[in-house]
Amino acid sequence: MKMPNITEEKVIQLVSEKMADRPKIIEMFKNCYQNTLETTIHRHEEDDTVFMLTGDIPAMWLRDSVNQLRPYLMLAAQDEDLKRIIEGVLKTQYQSILRDPYANAFNEFDNHNGHQSDKTEMTGWIWERKYEIDSLCYPIQLAYLYWKNTGETVHFNAEFRQVIELILHTWRTEQYHMEKSPYSFVRENGPITDVVNHEVAYTGMTWSGFRPSDDACKYGYLVPSNMFAVVVMKYLEEINDQFFHDEDLAKEVLSLRHDIEQGIEQFAVIQDEEWGQVYAYEVDGLGNTYLMDDANVPSLLSLPYLNYCDKDDPIYLNTRNMILSPTNPYFYEGEYAKGIGSPHTPENYIWHIALSIQGMTTMDDSEKNEILDTFERTDAGTNLVHEGFNKDNPNEYTREWFSWSNAMFVEFVLSVCGLEIKKS
């Protein structure tokens, strides 16, 4: 649905009209919609940067901060203050990556908060140094989508060029993780989900220590994150063609993208006896594969949402059917809900983020309505959404204040009402 000169008031009015038979969803939407900008933005007027809290943790995740802003992109073209916020977040993200491309979460100041006892190359700016491919994908996605939704290009500057060159270098290095990587990570006395497995063989894909859940990969090549890297490298090709005209950069982006695409095709497409051709969640190039999906994005469920494939792609549909079934060890079904959870939270806890993604990637209106029903009965009376909740008792949940989850719910409701951000 195209809405010129869209404003916050028009958005709320549209949702109120479209969801008139769901007053609970309207109330939840209003609360979640206003929550991010009211509670998570820290402006630094001296340098025009913006630090964006993830919620109940006083740190900024590269991944979360992008997803927190996505629902507001459609308003930014008509809202100068929103432009300043988004550009300020991008500036903070650029600075953060240049400080350390292997870190996933950063401090607002050089204050040594966070996991400083981890055995890795920590600094005072870093909250946590778990290397995740998607942490480098998301700022590129935000830069691209901001351009497409507002026409603004001021953020494609010299610092952005430095950032993308560092990202490409990091991904190229991690194609040869065993031979070339400088990265290591140990968290003493931590859970098994913090133990990094380094053993991989070359596939063309790029290695990731951790998933977007911040849990360690079982096998080193995280397939949905490599797919996300393919998507954002296509963005970089377009950005370079429009603004930088750098032939060497174009060749490197194309070469690396082809390597990863070939690796996905060769190692990550699995012929399953029950489901047909499906995507594995992780592989190691040594013959091991892991068929599962996690609630956090990028996920296999989210591939159309990320623009990796269409909703009706045959392999995606097979994969979707598989991961929304008991074949996926993190799919749960109970008295109040069914959906995908994560080893990051207790067993039988379903994630609201996964429900939002399921709703935005289905072609079935009845499935969307069923998911809206689920949201209505699983907010624990807070009119906000959470991380994970017990499938049999939604009053048992994790994270009272989780801004990414709130923003994802907003984006899902907007999509049901016919409002979606421009993606190309």
Structure confidence by residue, pLDDT tens digits, 108-123: 999 999 999 999 999 9
In angstroms, the CA 355 to CA 386 distance is 11
In angstroms, the CA 7 to CA 185 distance is 45
Residue 197 scores a pLDDT above 90: no
The mean pLDDT of the chain is 96
Nearest CA to 283 out of 298, 265, 256 is that of 265
Residue 4 scores a pLDDT above 60: no
Q: Measured between alpha carbons, how far is residue 353 from residues 111, 295, 305, 313, 349 in Å?
A: 31, 7, 13, 22, 12
Query: Can you give the pLDDT at residue 43?
Result: 97
Residue 52 scores a pLDDT above 80: yes
Query: Can you give the pLDDT at residue 1?
Result: 34
Residue 8 scores a pLDDT above 70: yes
Per domain, the residue ranges of the chain are: 8-416
Residue 2 scores a pLDDT above 60: no
377's CB contacts (< 8 A; 6+ apart) are 336, 337, 394
Query: Can you give the pLDDT at residue 56?
Result: 87
pLDDT in tens, 66-125: 999 999 999 999 999 999 999 999 999 999 999 999 999 999 999 999 999 999 999 999
CATH 1.50.10.10 fits 8-416, yes or no: yes
Residue 418 scores a pLDDT above 80: yes
Mean pLDDT of 169-195: 95
Query: Can you give the pLDDT at residue 208?
Result: 98
Query: Can you give the pLDDT at residue 5?
Result: 59
Token pair for 309: 């494939």
pTM of the model: 0.97
Token pair for 42: 């820290």
Half-sphere exposure of 298 (CA within 13 A, CB side): 28
